[in-house]
Amino acid sequence: ARRAHAEAGIFAMHRALLQDPALLAAADTLIDTGKSAGFAWREATRAEAAALSAMADRRAADRAADLIDLGKRVLRALARTGGGEGEGEGEGEGEGEGEGEGDLPADARVPVAQNGQPVVLAADEFTPSDLSGLDRSRVAALVMVRGGPTAHAAIMARQLGIPCLVALGSALERLPDATPVIADADHARLHASPDQHLLAAAASTIRLRAQQHQADLRAAHAPASTRDGVHIEVAANIGSVDDARAAVAQGADAIGLLRTELLFLHGDAAPAAADHTARCQAIADALEGRSAIVRTLDIGGDKDAAWLRLPAEDNPALGLRGVRLAQVCPQLLDDQLRGLLAVRASAPLRILLPMVSEPGELLHWRARIRALAAEVRADAGIEVGVMIEVPAAALLADQLAEHADFFSIGTNDLTQYTLAMDRCQPELAARMDALHPAVLRMIAATCEGAARHGRRVGVCGALAGDALAVPVLLGLGVTELSVDAALVPATKARVRTLAHADCRQRAPELLRLASAAAVRDACRRYWPA
Ligand code: PEP
Ligand code: MG
């Protein structure tokens, strides 16, 4: 039996920080000088976090990261008028029953479950830094009041294989501690105090899924081709050396996306070139000869690193993130590229640039990579690709393809920016569907642009792991799918059921439909999952 616990140790620690008299006094002093509450709070938490980061003590550095997370939550709370009900979104499944595990140590990041049983953790919103280092074996599921299906916390949960429900609204706040729950992420539902019938049904679903996974896994180490013989690479998205090992164990053909920022969310200083080399070398060594696409740091948006003091922005998703960060911190990317170029791997490493919106940016970074390769005496012929995640990049795909070695479509951001829906906005979570025909038109434009110059197109956003979407992506011209390691076996199995010619013929029809729901209906009819 798994145990529910509505308030994690993260909350206990945040409560303690919120009551810190020194922090409150610092904010009060600024308010007394006429500053707004938001300004005062931000300045007070930053000053305290900087003081903690300056200490040599590792626990102080961790507390600095927590303080920054907490600072942002309070600022968000100040900026909004109140919670609201939403629908859950997510993947996988979990179950819960029994009691909570009692009070946690004030500095615990992850609760220690009683009797070694995993728990369902609830929070207003988990952040990426909450989840880095989370012990998968202790957590059955994560459930949040707010959040979005492709917010980075949800992505990290999926990478860890932990089912995650987001945007559950204030109903979750009202749930008492230690309520038994079933977190059914397949149907985006949280069942509180389930009866025996529901518990038995959930247990049976979990058993069947495990059996199906084992069956798919047996075939996952062979390459996947469609019924009519078109090979589709099924790769994995990773953010740690553990994920790299999981990718190999689950049969991934390659690494389609290494989110390098996830390697460096904590810590008290920017990573040096040698840190990049060491972390990437360890990952390359774990891959047993598989190639890897390494994305340069994509900090900003909903991913903050404690050591990077970014200017506050009203719209961080539209601001300094991805390669744009180099405008304010050029050293950061140069150090990373120097570090990456020094990695010695038995299979190719490729560099992927996030948030590119025009060919000039790609040309700039290609030249920079050539110069840095000469400096560190590395091979200047390393392949350089572009994330297609900004509508401008999709629309200029033919121009970008002239200079890029490959494309990787980031459907999470491409959906956010095409639909103008913040991927962390809980009220819009149920409408954030990458199968929206406008997003599909962006993907089609990308594939057409790439085809003009004979470039490969992969998808590394969450859509690649959606069984219903796989035939659509193949039909539009995608030949590489990069998914969470746990989804590799099922994705290969799905590819093997499809006829490529049929996908090619039917996918263009979907671009003429009027909504994501209509696309999903058509997919269910054409290619039942
Ligand atoms: C994406 O945007 O789809 C993507 C893969 O990158 P990230 O989710 O890290 O923004
Ligand atoms: Mg992205």
Residue 103 clears pLDDT 50, i.e. is over it:
no
Single residue among 168, 194, 220 that ends a domain in this structure: 194
Ligand number nearest CA of 150 is 1
What share of the chain has pLDDT > 90, as a percent? 60
259 lines ligand 1 (CB under 6 A): yes
**Confidence (pLDDT) at 416:** 97
- Which residues are known to be catalytic? 152, 460
- The structure's pTM equals 0.78
Ligand 1 atom 6: the closest Cα is on which residue?
410
Note down the domain range covering 48. 2-81
Rounded to an integer, the average pLDDT of 175-193 is 90
Describe the crossing of helices 58-79 and 9-18 by its angle, rounded to 10 degrees: 80
Ligand 1 atom 8: the closest Cα is on which residue?
412
Rounded to an integer, the average pLDDT of 382-396 is 98
Determine the distance from the C-alpha atom of residue 224 to the mean position of all C-alpha atoms in its chain, rounded to a whole number: 25
Centre of ligand 2 from the C-alpha of residue 422, in Å: 12
Residue 308 clears pLDDT 50, i.e. is over it:
yes
**Confidence (pLDDT) at 84:** 30
- Is 108 contained in some domain? no
Answer yes or no: do 241 and 319 share one domain.
Answer: yes
Rounded to an integer, the average pLDDT of 215-221 is 96
Answer yes or no: do 406 and 517 share one domain.
Answer: yes
- Is 295 contained in some domain? yes
298 lines ligand 1 (CB under 6 A): yes
Residue 436 clears pLDDT 90, i.e. is over it:
yes
- Is 113 contained in some domain? no
Mean pLDDT of the chain: 86
Answer yes or no: do 309 and 399 share one domain.
Answer: yes
- Is 114 contained in some domain? no
* C-alpha closest to that of 460 among 413, 409, 502: 409
- Is 102 contained in some domain? no
Answer yes or no: do 366 and 323 share one domain.
Answer: yes
Q: What stretch of H or E contains 483?
A: strand 480-484
Amino acid letter for position 221: H
Centre of ligand 1 from the C-alpha of residue 391, in Å: 14
Rounded to an integer, the average pLDDT of 489-496 is 98
Answer yes or no: do 427 and 517 share one domain.
Answer: yes
**Confidence (pLDDT) at 13:** 61
Answer yes or no: do 358 and 397 share one domain.
Answer: yes
C-alpha span between 176 and 472 (Å, rounded)? 43
Phi first, then psi: what are they for 141, rounded to 5°?
-165, 160
Residue 15 clears pLDDT 80, i.e. is over it:
no
410 lines ligand 1 (CB under 6 A): yes
Rounded to an integer, the average pLDDT of 31-57 is 76
**Confidence (pLDDT) at 58:** 58
155 lines ligand 1 (CB under 6 A): yes
Centre of ligand 1 from the C-alpha of residue 408, in Å: 10
Answer yes or no: do 433 and 337 share one domain.
Answer: yes
Single residue among 169, 194, 219 that ends a domain in this structure: 194
125 lines ligand 1 (CB under 6 A): no
Determine the distance from the C-alpha atom of residue 333 to the mean position of all C-alpha atoms in its chain, rounded to a whole number: 21
Answer yes or no: do 395 and 261 share one domain.
Answer: yes
Ligand 1 atom 10: the closest Cα is on which residue?
413
389 lines ligand 1 (CB under 6 A): yes
Q: Which atom of ligand 1 is nearest to the CA of 460?
A: 5
237 lines ligand 1 (CB under 6 A): no
Single residue among 135, 166, 194 that ends a domain in this structure: 194
Centre of ligand 1 from the C-alpha of residue 256, in Å: 12
Q: Write out the E strands in 7-138.
A: 119-123
Give the residue, 96 or 312, on which the prediction is more confident. Answer: 312
- Is 96 contained in some domain? no
Determine the distance from the C-alpha atom of residue 110 to the mean position of all C-alpha atoms in its chain, rounded to a whole number: 20
Q: Which of 6-10, 217-221, 251-255 has the lowest mean pLDDT?
A: 6-10
- Is 205 contained in some domain? no
Total domains in the chain come to 3
The confidence band for 125, taking pLDDT boundaries of 50, 70 and 90, is confident
413 lines ligand 1 (CB under 6 A): yes
Answer yes or no: do 461 and 350 share one domain.
Answer: yes
Q: Which atom of ligand 1 is nearest to the CA of 155?
A: 8
- Is 199 contained in some domain? no
Answer yes or no: do 326 and 357 share one domain.
Answer: yes
How is residue 35 written in tokens?
């500053």
Answer yes or no: do 185 and 220 share one domain.
Answer: no
Ligand 1 atom 3: the closest Cα is on which residue?
410
Centre of ligand 1 from the C-alpha of residue 294, in Å: 13
Rounded to an integer, the average pLDDT of 341-355 is 96
Answer yes or no: do 160 and 235 share one domain.
Answer: no
Q: What is the CA radius of gyration of the chain?
A: 23
Rounded to an integer, the average pLDDT of 226-242 is 97
3-state secondary structure 178-217: CCCEEEECCCCEEEECCCHHHHHHHHHHHHHHHHHHHHHH
Q: Which of 7-21, 28-42, 122-136, 383-397 has the lowest mean pLDDT?
A: 7-21
Q: Which atom of ligand 1 is nearest to the CA of 410?
A: 3
**Confidence (pLDDT) at 104:** 26
Centre of ligand 1 from the C-alpha of residue 420, in Å: 16
* C-alpha closest to that of 287 among 339, 262, 252: 252
Buried b / exposed e along 204-224 (16+ C-beta atoms within 10 A): eeeeeeeeebeebbeebeeeb
Helices (H), 397-487: 397-403, 411-419, 437-452, 470-476
Residues 255-267 have pLDDT tens digits of 999 999 999 987 7
Check which CATH number belongs to the domain holding 174 and give it. 3.50.30.10
Determine the distance from the C-alpha atom of residue 231 to the mean position of all C-alpha atoms in its chain, rounded to a whole number: 27
